Amino acid sequence: MHVGKYSVKGSPAFDALIDRHMQRIADEVWTSSYSKHWKALVLLGGYGRGEGTPLIGRNGQEMPFNDYDLVVVTDRIDPLILGALKHLEQRLTAELGLPVDLCPYLKKNLPKCEFSLLNYEMKYGHMVIRGDEKILGRMPDYPHDQIPLSEGTRLLMNRGKLLLDIKRRMTVGAPLTPEERRRFIKFIFKANLAFGDCALLLRDAYDISYTVKKERIKHLGLDGLNDARGVISAYLRAVDFKEYGDSQPLETANIHIWLDEALRHFQDVFLWYERRGLNRKFRNIKTYARAFPHLGNEGSALKNAAHNLKTFGFGAFPHLFVHPRIRLYPAIALLLNDHTDPADVRWLLCSKQGTFDGLCDDFVKLQQRFS
């Protein structure tokens, strides 16, 4: 079996295609108006780890399925540079037919990067496409067995937002376009991966590689988790698709059934994870939400206060020193629950919205800032 450069089971032709895309992205970035500030272009995510998904079409042709997530290490960040990168993202996305994300990281801040799952995976699972190949050696050494459990909650919140996107779209009633089906199936796979990853985090069995994780999760004890077997099965299906993606499910899958299962697993995994991570006996999502602001401790008091005042104004009191992200954890769990009292979400988000869609909009705005 061929072990690919960008995937576990992709062919040499698939590697060559991704190579061409990376060359094109690097050339565009390196010849842009602000290229004198770039120090390195770093590929992250599945492709950066060598575990990207080759999507297999009806004719057997392999095409990329994952987004292209890249970091641009720069010696300067300002509105002009952010605008230039956004313009490059849009142009490259249109040209390559896949979302291209260019996230700037300030070189001088690399030694101070927080211990997050994103930074952990960037440090230990990346590929430098252009520039200084050793630049991420400036980042701190993150102990593999000390990933903060709050990072699992953060992951669930971000994947829950993807499920919320699907849930909102499904209420419209109009048939899904082929592009929407493809995107939503990708979202559901990402959610299923997050459920298993959180179980691995909780049991100190997390690893950078899905090849390792899919073996570890088969032997994981998940006492107290509803439908643990179903969660593991969905995780393994998602990993199998990640390794070699059959395009047929994108055409034939019943999105309603897949979404219902993912939403049920979200509620079960979220509450199970938070009960054990916080060592609290929350009876249900509502009692968990009512425990805010005592749902974790993230960030520094001064930075949290600045975030809160800028975001909520006087509405941040009396929880001025609590990171705004802590509000989003119970909020997403409530928004994905069909029996939620909207007043609970309004209280968490300091929102004045009177409709479900309005509350979702407020959540998404905050999630984009504090994801």
Residue 129 lies in a domain: yes
Q: For 44-68, what is each residue's pLDDT tens digit?
A: 999 999 999 999 988 889 999 999 9
> 212 and 325: one domain?
no
Answer yes or no: do 257 and 290 share one domain. Answer: no
Give the model confidence (pLDDT) of 175-216 as tens digits.
999 999 999 999 999 999 999 999 999 999 999 999 999 999
Does the structure show a pLDDT above 70 at 2? Answer: no
- Pair (311, 248) in one structural domain: no
Same domain? For 123 and 179 the reply is no
Token pair 């995510």 is found at 45
Domain tally for the chain?
3
Tokens 């698939």: give the residue: 14
203 belongs to a structural domain: yes
* 259 lies in the same domain as 287: no
Residues 134, 17, single domain; the answer is yes
Return the exposure string of 12-47: e unless at least 16 CB atoms fall within 10 Å of the residue's CB, then b.
Answer: eebbebbeebbeebbebbeebebeebbbbbbbbbbb
pLDDT category of residue 327 using cuts at 50, 70 and 90 = very high
Task: Return the pLDDT at 194.
Answer: 98
Strand-by-strand arrangement of the 127-131 sheet: 100-106, 68-74, 38-43, 127-131
Residue 208's φ and ψ, nearest 5 degrees, are -70, -25
Structural domain of residue 78, as residue ranges? 12-138
97 falls within a domain: yes
Rounded alpha-carbon distances, angstroms, from residue 168 to 44, 319, 359: 29, 30, 12
Decide if 2 is inside a domain: no
CATH number at residue 20: 3.30.460
Residues 164 and 243 in one domain: yes
Domain endpoint, select from 223, 248, 271: 271
pLDDT digits (tens, 9 = 90+) for 241-258: 999 998 887 888 999 999
Domain stop point among 214, 249, 271: 271
Q: What percent of the chain has pLDDT over 90?
A: 92
The pLDDT tens digits for 125-173 are 999 999 999 999 999 999 999 999 999 999 999 999 999 999 999 999 8
Asked whether residue 107 falls in the same domain as residue 45, the answer is yes
Work out the pLDDT band at 4, boundaries 50, 70, 90: confident
Residues 286 and 329 in one domain: yes
Q: Which residues lie across from 71 on neighbouring strands?
A: 42, 103
20 and 113 share one domain: yes
Query: Do both 95 and 197 map to the same domain?
Result: no
User: CA-to-CA distance for 5 and 18, rounded, in angstroms?
Assistant: 9
Tokens of 317: 């009191």
How far from each other are the two terminal CA atoms of the chain, in whole angstroms?
A: 38
Specify if 3 maps to a domain.
Answer: no
Q: How far apart are CA 120 and CA 147, in angstroms?
A: 8
| Residue 234 to residue 97: CA distance in whole angstroms | 28
CA dihedral 117, 47, 191, 158 (to 10 degrees): 50
Q: Which of 222, 252, 271 is the last residue of a domain?
A: 271
